[in-house]
Amino acid sequence: METRIAVMSVIVQSGEDVEALNALLHEYSAYIIGRMGIPYRQKNVNIISVALDAPQDAISALSGRLGRLPGVSAKIAYSKL
């Protein structure tokens, strides 16, 4: 199956959803190249960047599932490769 390289930006506005978010990322860990999290304490949010090499369907599914969590938003940027 053909894969795509993408970066997913995730903003978490609520600390109560962190366990569900981490469970989803663990579920898709086979596709994750790397992950960086930045706590922005002044605004009380967490910013997460996730690099992926995955089939288009898996990337879309993960983004959709993350976006359905309360207090979480996710956007994707795809490589032209």
Q: Tell me, what DSSP letter sits at residue 58?
A: H
Q: How many domains does the chain have?
A: 1
From residue 57, alpha-carbon distances to 37, 40, 54, 64 in Å are 24, 31, 8, 10
pLDDT of 21-58, one tens digit each?
A: 999 999 999 999 999 999 999 999 999 999 999 999 99
Q: Which residues, at least 6 apart from 42, have a Cβ–Cβ distance to it below 8 Å?
A: none
Identify the CATH number of the domain in which residue 55 sits. Answer: 3.30.70.1150
When pLDDT is cut at 50, 70 and 90, the band that residue 18 belongs to is confident
Q: Which domain holds residue 53?
A: 4-78
pLDDT of residue 38: 95
From residue 60, alpha-carbon distances to 12, 22, 28, 33 in Å are 18, 17, 12, 16
